[in-house]
Chains A and B, each alone.
Chain A
Amino acid sequence: MDDLKNIFSLFDTEYITEYKTSWLKVKLSFSSNLLDVAQMLQKNGLRTISTISPTDFIDENKIEMNYFFEDLVTKRNCWLKCDIPRELKHCKIESLSNLFKGALWHEREAYSMFGVKFLNHPDLRPIILSQDYYNKFPFRKDFDWQEHEKNSVENMNLIVESFQEEEHLSENKLDPNSSEMILNWGPTHPASGPIRLKVHCDGEDILGIDPDIGFVWRALEHLVTQKDFVGAIVAVERLCFMDNINSMVCYAQAVEEIAEIEITEFAKWMRVLLGEVGRISSHMMGMGGFYNAMGLHTVAMWNMDMRELFLDFLESYSGARIATASVEAGGVRYGLAPEMLEELQKALDKFDATKEDIKNIFINNPTMKMRAAKLGILTQDEVQEYALCGVVARASGVKTDIRIDEPYAAYDQIELEYVTQKGGSAKDRLFQLFEEIEQSVSIIKQAKKHIEQKIEEGEFNPTKDYMVKMPKKLPKGEAIARVEWARGEVLMHLVTQEKAKSPYRLKMKAPSFNHTMMVEHLLKGETLSDIPLVFGSLYICQGDLDR
Chain B
Amino acid sequence: MLKIFDFFAHSKSESVWMAHFCTGCCSLEMAAAMGPRYDWERYGYLPTPSPRQADVLVITGLITKKVLPALLRTYQQMPEPKYVLALGACSFDGGPYNDSLAVVKNPTEILPADVFVAGCPPTPEAIISGLEQIKQKIKDGIPSAASEGGLYKEMKF
Q: Which residues of A contact B (CB under 8 A)?
A: 130-133, 138, 145-146, 148-149, 155-157, 159-161, 163, 187-190, 193-194, 214-220, 222-223, 226-227, 234-235, 238, 241-242, 285, 300-302, 304-305, 307-308, 311, 321-323, 543
Contact = CB atoms under 8 A, between A and B. Distances in A.
B96 to A, nearest CB: 5
Nearest to A158: B65
A304 B35 CA distance: 6
A217 B97 CA distance: 11
Given A215-B23, A305-B35, A163 B100 contact: no
- 10 smallest CB-CB distances across A and B, nearest first, come from A304-B35, A130-B66, A241-B25, A190-B20, A145-B101, A219-B102, A215-B67, A223-B100, A130-B65, A190-B49
B97 A322 contact: no
Given A156-B65, A301-B36, A220 B100 contact: yes
Nearest to B19: A188
B111 interface: no
B56 to A, nearest CB: 15
B25 A543 contact: yes
Interface string B14-25: 000001111111
Contacts of A133: 102
A189 B47 CA distance: 12
Given A194-B23, A238-B25, A304-B37, A227 B64 contact: no
Interface of B: 19-25, 28-29, 31-32, 34-37, 47, 49, 51, 62, 64-70, 74, 96-97, 99-103, 120-121, 123, 155-157
Contacts of B21: 187-188
A235 B96 contact: yes
A218 B97 contact: yes
Given A188-B51, A216-B67, A160 B157 contact: yes
A308 B37 contact: yes
A136 to B, nearest CB: 11
B69 A160 contact: yes
Given A193-B22, A219-B100, A301-B36, A241 B121 contact: yes
Contact of B64 (A130, A157, A190): A130
Given A188-B21, A322-B121, A159 B74 contact: no
B70 A187 contact: yes
B23 A227 contact: no
14 contacts: A132-B65, A148-B101, A157-B156, A160-B157, A188-B21, A188-B74, A189-B49, A214-B64, A214-B66, A216-B62, A217-B102, A234-B96, A304-B32, A322-B28
A217 B101 CA distance: 10
Where chain B touches its partner, the secondary structure class is loop
Given A188-B74, A305-B35, A322-B28, A215 B66 contact: yes
Nearest to A312: B37
A144 B29 CA distance: 35
B59 to A, nearest CB: 13
Nearest to B35: A304
B65 to A, nearest CB: 5
Contacts of A155: 65
Given A160-B157, A323-B121, A216 B64 contact: yes
Given A304-B36, A322-B28, 8 more contacts: A132-B65, A156-B65, A156-B68, A156-B69, A161-B156, A194-B23, A216-B23, A323-B25
Contacts of A190: 20, 47, 49
B143 to A, nearest CB: 25
A321 B20 CA distance: 23
Nearest to A186: B70
Contacts of B101: 138, 145-146, 148-149, 219, 222
A308 B32 contact: yes
Given A149-B101, A219-B102, A222-B100, A308 B120 contact: no
A301 B20 contact: no
A218 B66 contact: no
A298 B113 CA distance: 32
B141 to A, nearest CB: 29
B22 A223 contact: no
